Chains A and B, each alone.
Chain A
């Protein structure tokens, strides 16, 4: 009897190098807890948080280099073999998104100081930011669907704690809308997990890749549709996007920036992972739906941004438009399509955060949140206007900025599917058209904001002969915040000018998503379907 039982425990020693896949999450969690213990001290929370995030970034750089060198890295908890133990598995996409998220968090920690004059640390801001980072990093690095749900909940709890920081009534209003819809989304996710476990008997991602082709395709398509609904809500894809512009502008700008960079991108990444990598057969059935969602999101979101006069609400719509671009790659999952989606997520993590950070500085300088009350900022702060226009160009995808390269990949994928490919269809050509129209509309929305805030003489209705109120200069904390945005924007511009390593990495990452052989092998499971 004993001879027939399969092996259940890992007998070999775990190499020390594999720990980089778990250390970022553990460091963030322990760091958050440690900061909670010293939250009343004046300097410790900021210094501690920055040190912890630097440690996380170091681990993730090592992890990314290891993944680029040797393919996915996996560690299964507690010496149990997968699928019994919980696996953390990092491929190129997961590792690079986690790295981008930590880098953005580092800049936001410094930037957040502009709103924290007089804060006594009782709100435990830095601890909650690290908890959010732990949730997001866990979601990017996990190799287990139930574990993904756990990290979603951690992220949700932390973001709930952040969105009410300050306790203004508008924030509570935003928190209720945000919280209710996101709880609904995680509950739907949990429901679909139950169904998936009933169908397959496993929730380990690598194991799902092996056994999913054997299951009833109709039932699997139902689960995939539920997952699409849940993650689509998380990612704020049309028509489930209403919570984002209703909630993101209410907390302080640093928190908006953190949410814009991290939260919806986790949803988009989960969509990519679940539909393209785990359940490709069900995705094929859902392809027209995905294409329709991508097109409507791409077209309607920038229109919302054009119609909006509240600065941060307008940027919220631009964030949603980016989710539409990610959905294009889901609808056309060729090598170029997946690489484009992955690279777009990376670009969006960096650019959308920076955009919100600049918006926060604009609000600080003008003392208003409504673009109709702004104007003439160019004369007061030319560097700020340069940052803003650079980020607008990057998010619209104007070459040679960072947003152009993923959109180029997606356009190539759309054209190959719709026009030049062997079996041309409406999906490819419609997606290509929608991407181009989205770029133009986003550019219109962004430059219109820029023209209103920076270019015109003064607030709406004010003639040039009026003597304008001088704008408030930035204090020391403000200059630190400005430095953080400037450094992040410089990084975005550099990445746009030297895209070759990013494009190479995205193409290799896309191969691992499309062909799970290396991913499954990393977890130690047999490659073939049992």
Chain B
């Protein structure tokens, strides 16, 4: 796998996949996509990067332990459900905020943050699995 062609192209593929994963995640509320599939695409990018450059490089590039990212995702998803505590509604009731920015309206909502949490969970968990599969040494887990 470690050919010159692959090593040269991998960073470009990874960059495109990561951007595309964010796009898929964000459009997921009304169209095909969402946090889960976005996280899968991003984790696949990490897997490709790991194959091309080695696990140690990827870990350095990520800066944060993938499992910690997954944990952060659960915290974010849970916190987005708890927000309805402040509007006298049951757990997980969605709250919407429409921001007028110039010409367009940007809808922000608690489901969006829930979905970003899902993205982080899937991304973190699967990256951790992919990296430990690609790694030769046990202490990388």
Binding site for B on A (CB under 8 A): 10, 13-14, 16, 18-19, 22, 26, 29-30, 32-37, 39-40, 75-79, 85, 122, 124, 127
Contact = CB atoms under 8 A, between A and B. Distances in A.
Contacts of A79: 89-90, 93
7 contacts: A22-B91, A26-B78, A26-B91, A30-B74, A34-B75, A36-B71, A39-B67
Given A26-B82, A39-B67, A124-B67, A33 B91 contact: no
Nearest to B68: A37
A22 B73 CA distance: 19
Contacts of A76: 90
A122 B93 contact: no
Interface residues of chain A: helix, strand, loop or mixed (majority): helix
B31 interface: no
A78 B75 contact: no
Contacts of A127: 71
B60 to A, nearest CB: 17
Interface residues of chain B: helix, strand, loop or mixed (majority): helix
A33 B71 CA distance: 4
Interface in B72-101: 72-75, 78-79, 81-82, 85, 88-94
A39 to B, nearest CB: 7
Interface string B53-79: 000000000000101101111110011
Contacts of B73: 33
Contact of B91 (A19, A32, A34, A35): A19
A77 to B, nearest CB: 4
B92 A36 contact: no
B141 interface: yes
A30 B79 contact: yes
A33 B78 CA distance: 10
| Interface size range on B against A | 20 to 34
B71 A37 contact: yes
A78 B90 contact: yes
Contacts of B81: 26
Given A39-B67, A122-B141, 9 more contacts: A14-B89, A30-B79, A33-B75, A40-B65, A77-B91, A78-B94, A79-B89, A85-B90, A127-B71
Contact of B90 (A32, A35, A77, A124): A77
Contacts of A30: 74-75, 78-79
Contacts of A122: 141
B17 to A, nearest CB: 25
B113 to A, nearest CB: 14
B71 A75 contact: no
B138 to A, nearest CB: 10
Contacts of A16: 85, 88
A36 B91 contact: no
A33 B72 contact: yes
A303 to B, nearest CB: 43
Nearest to B93: A79
Contacts of B65: 40
Contact of B85 (A10, A19, A29): A19
Nearest to B91: A22
A37 B71 CA distance: 6
Given A30-B75, A122-B141, A36 B67 contact: yes
